C-alpha cells in the first residue's frame, strides 16, 4: 500500500487540511465498522502506542482507533503557520488527538501578506526545522508515493513559505511526486498585495511542482451561493441540515457558528477526498496518484490541472435524488462545476482523467467517454488522452460521484488576469518597498517572476493556435503478414 504525506501551510492550508481529515475519518468510520487500523488508513495514518500514556481516545463521529490495543492513529502531516491561531484551534478541536504535536511549526507574528517574509525571512529561519520534520514524517512511510501541499496564493505564509517547502521537497526527496493544491485569490480580494504574492509563488510552482490543482476563490464562492439559492428556493426538494458539511464545520452535536470560509474550504476538502479515494479504498480500476502526473502532464511546465466535482451536493447534507449517471458525466464538463472560472469545452484538452466512485462499471465509463468526445477538443497528437479510475466506495450518503481533472488551456485566462493585476501595481512600483527591505529580496525577483508567467501563457497560446486545425487520425501501425 502506497502512502502520502500532507503538508498544510498557512491559514487556508490548515483549515482546508483539517476539513479533509475530518471528512476522511468519517468515510473510514462508515466503511470500517469495527474501527480497526487497516490498509486504507495506513495511506495517511500511522499507529501510535498510547499504553504508557493512559486511555486511548474514544471513537467519535468518524475517528477510528483501536481501544483493545490501546493505540491511536496519528496523521502523516506537517502543519506550518506563522500565526498560532488556526493551529491552536485545531489542537483544541475534536481532531486534536490525531495530530502529532511534534509535527507542528508555528510563530506568532505572521507574514503580513508578504511573500518575501514567508519565503526569505521565515524560510531561512525555519529551513532546518522543516527539513527535519519532513524527514521524520517520511520515515513513518514504508512506500512514500507523494507529498500533498495545501496552501493559498494570496497571503504571505501560504504563498511564500508554502513554495519554499516545495523547493525543499524537491531537494530532499527528488524521486517523490509533489502535488500542490493552490487556492488563488479573486479579483476583489482584500489583500492588496495578493497579485505580487501570487505571481512570485507561480514562478516556484512552474519550476518545482509535478502537478498543481489551481482553485479560485471566486468559483468556490459561486458554487456555495448556487447551492444556498437552490436549497432556499426549494428546488432541491429539501433543506440543508443544521450541521451540514457545506454550511458548518461543526463536528459535534454543539451548534458552531459558521465561519466565512467554512463552506468554501469544504469544497476543496471534497476535491482531495475524491482525489485520494483510490489510495484509501479498493476498486476495480484504482488509479495511483503518480499515474495522474504520468498521464496528464505531457510537458514539464504545463502541469496545471483544472478540476470539477459532481454532484456538487456531495458537499452538503441535502436529501437530493442522485444525479443520473450520464448526467453526472455531462456536468463534469460544464462551466458550473469547474473549480476555476473557466469553460473547458471551448478550450483545448491535452489530457483528461475521470475518477469515479461508487457502483459504476467500466462499460459506463467507456460509453460516456464516447458520447462526450465529439464535443471536446483534444490536441491532434493525443486524441485518446483519457485516464480513468474506479473506486468501489462512494462518498458517504451518495451512490456515486465523479472528479474530473483536465489538462486544458482554459486555465490560461486565470493566469492572464493575474498578470494584469500584477502589472497594474508593478508599473507604479506600488508596495515594492515592503518586499525589498527583506534580506535576499531584490527587484529582479519580480521581473523574473512575471517573465516566467508570461512564458507559461505563451506556451498555452501556442497550443490554442492549433485548436482549429484539421483533425486527422494518427497513422496506425501496419503489421506485415
- How would DSSP label each residue in 132-173? HHHHHHHHT-SSEEEEEEEEESSSSIIIIIHHHHHHHHHHH-
* Spatial distance between the Cα atoms of 274 and 27, rounded to a whole number of angstroms: 11
* Spatial distance between the Cα atoms of 89 and 96, rounded to a whole number of angstroms: 9
Cα separations in angstroms, 87 against 13, 96, 101, 233 = 11, 10, 10, 37
Q: Taking the domain 414-466, which CATH number applies?
A: 1.10.287
Phi-psi region of 429 (alpha: psi -120 to 50; beta: other; left: phi over 0): left
Q: Please report, in tens digits, the pLDDT of each residue of the chain (481 residues total).
A: 678 899 999 999 999 999 999 888 888 888 877 665 566 666 676 655 444 443 333 433 444 444 333 335 578 899 999 999 999 999 888 888 888 888 899 999 899 999 999 999 999 999 999 999 999 999 988 888 899 999 999 999 999 999 999 999 999 999 999 999 999 998 888 899 999 999 999 999 999 999 999 999 999 999 988 887 777 766 554 444 444 444 344 443 334 455 658 889 999 999 999 999 988 888 888 888 889 999 999 999 999 999 999 887 544 444 545 568 899 999 999 999 999 999 999 999 999 999 999 989 999 999 999 999 999 999 999 999 999 999 998 888 888 899 999 999 999 999 999 999 999 999 999 999 999 999 999 999 999 999 999 999 999 999 999 987 655 544 555 555 4
CB 307 within 8 A of CB 269: no
CB 109 within 8 A of CB 82: yes
Q: Which residue has the cell 426549494?
A: 234
Strand partners for 105? 80
Q: Do domains 3-49+71-228+261-413 and 414-466 have the same CATH topology?
A: no
Residue-range domain boundaries for the chain: 3-49+71-228+261-413, 414-466
* Spatial distance between the Cα atoms of 409 and 461, rounded to a whole number of angstroms: 8
* Spatial distance between the Cα atoms of 99 and 18, rounded to a whole number of angstroms: 10
Q: Which CATH superfamily is domain 3-49+71-228+261-413 in?
A: Tubulin/FtsZ, GTPase domain (3.40.50.1440)
Q: Alpha helices, DSSP H only, in 159-308?
A: 162-172, 194-208, 217-233, 262-275, 277-280, 289-296
366 Cβ contact partners less than 8 Å away, ≥ 6 residues apart:
none
* Spatial distance between the Cα atoms of 277 and 391, rounded to a whole number of angstroms: 7
* Spatial distance between the Cα atoms of 274 and 295, rounded to a whole number of angstroms: 18
Short-list 192, 202, 113, 215, CA closest to 157: 113
Residue 108: Cβ-neighbour burial (10 angstroms; 0-12, 13-18, 19+): exposed
Amino acid at each position: 500500500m502506497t502512502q502520502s504525506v500532507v503538508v498544510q501551510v498557512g491559514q487556508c492550508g490548515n483549515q482546508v487540511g483539517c476539513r479533509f481529515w475530518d471528512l476522511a475519518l468519517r468515510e473510514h468510520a462508515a466503511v470500517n465498522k469495527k474501527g480497526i487500523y487497516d490498509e486504507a488508513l495506513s495511506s495517511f495514518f500511522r499507529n501510535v502506542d498510547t499504553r504508557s500514556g493512559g486511555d486511548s481516545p474514544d471513537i467519535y463521529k468518524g475517528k477510528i482507533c483501536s481501544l483493545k490495543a490501546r493505540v491511536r492513529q496519528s496523521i502523516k502531516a506537517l502543519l506550518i503557520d506563522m500565526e498560532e491561531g488556526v493551529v491552536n484551534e485545531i489542537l483544541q478541536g475534536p481532531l486534536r488527538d490525531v495530530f502529532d504535536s511534534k509535527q507542528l511549526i508555528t510563530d506568532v507574528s505572521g507574514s503580513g501578506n508578504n511573500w518575501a517574509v514567508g519565503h526569505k525571512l521565515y524560510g531561512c529561519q525555519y529551513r532546518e526545522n522543516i527539513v527535519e520534520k519532513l524527514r521524520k514524517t517520511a520515515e513513518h512511510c514504508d512506500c512514500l508515493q507523494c507529498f500533498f501541499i495545501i496552501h493559498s496564493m494570496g497571503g504571505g505564509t501560504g504563498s511564500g513559505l508554502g513554495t519554499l517547502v516545495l523547493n525543499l521537497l524537491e531537494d530532499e526527496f527528488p524521486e517523490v511526486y509533489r502535488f500542490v493544491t493552490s487556492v488563488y485569490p479573486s479579483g476583489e480580494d482584500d489583500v492588496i498585495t495578493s497579485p505580487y504574492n501570487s505571481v512570485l509563488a507561480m514562478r516556484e510552482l512552474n519550476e518545482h511542482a509535478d502537478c498543481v490543482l489551481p482553485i479560485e476563490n471566486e468559483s468556490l464562492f459561486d458554487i456555495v451561493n448556487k447551492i444556498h439559492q437552490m436549497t432556499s428556493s426549494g428546488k432541491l426538494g429539501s433543506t440543508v441540515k443544521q450541521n451540514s458539511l457545506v454550511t458548518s464545520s461543526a463536528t459535534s452535536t454543539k451548534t458552531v457558528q459558521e465561519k466565512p470560509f467554512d463552506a468554501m474550504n469544504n469544497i476543496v476538502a471534497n476535491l482531495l477526498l475524491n482525489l485520494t479515494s483510490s489510495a484509501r479504498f479498493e476498486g476495480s480500476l484504482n488509479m495511483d496518484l503518480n499515474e495522474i502526473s504520468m498521464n496528464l502532464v505531457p510537458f514539464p511546465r504545463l502541469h496545471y490541472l483544472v478540476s470539477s466535482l459532481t454532484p456538487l451536493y456531495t458537499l452538503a447534507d441535502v436529501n437530493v435524488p442522485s444525479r443520473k449517471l450520464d448526467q453526472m458525466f455531462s456536468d463534469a464538463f460544464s462551466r458550473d462545476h469547474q473549480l476555476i472560472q473557466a469553460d473547458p469545452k471551448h478550450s483545448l484538452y491535452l489530457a483528461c482523467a475521470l475518477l469515479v466512485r461508487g457502483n459504476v462499471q467500466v462499460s459506463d465509463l467507456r460509453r460516456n467517454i464516447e458520447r462526450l468526445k465529439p464535443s471536446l477538443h483534444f490536441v491532434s497528437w493525443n486524441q485518446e488522452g483519457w485516464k480513468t479510475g474506479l473506486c468501489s466506495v462512494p462518498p458517504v450518503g451518495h451512490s456515486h460521484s465523479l472528479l474530473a481533472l483536465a489538462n486544458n488551456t482554459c486555465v490560461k485566462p486565470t493566469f492572464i488576469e493575474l498578470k494584469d493585476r500584477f502589472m497594474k501595481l508593478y508599473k507604479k512600483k506600488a508596495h515594492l518597498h515592503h518586499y525589498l527591505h527583506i534580506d535576499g529580496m531584490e527587484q529582479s525577483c519580480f521581473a523574473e517572476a512575471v517573465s516566467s508567467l508570461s512564458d507559461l501563457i505563451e506556451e498555452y497560446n501556442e497550443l490554442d493556435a492549433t485548436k482549429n486545425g484539421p483533425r486527422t487520425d494518427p497513422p496506425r501501425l501496419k503489421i506485415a503478414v
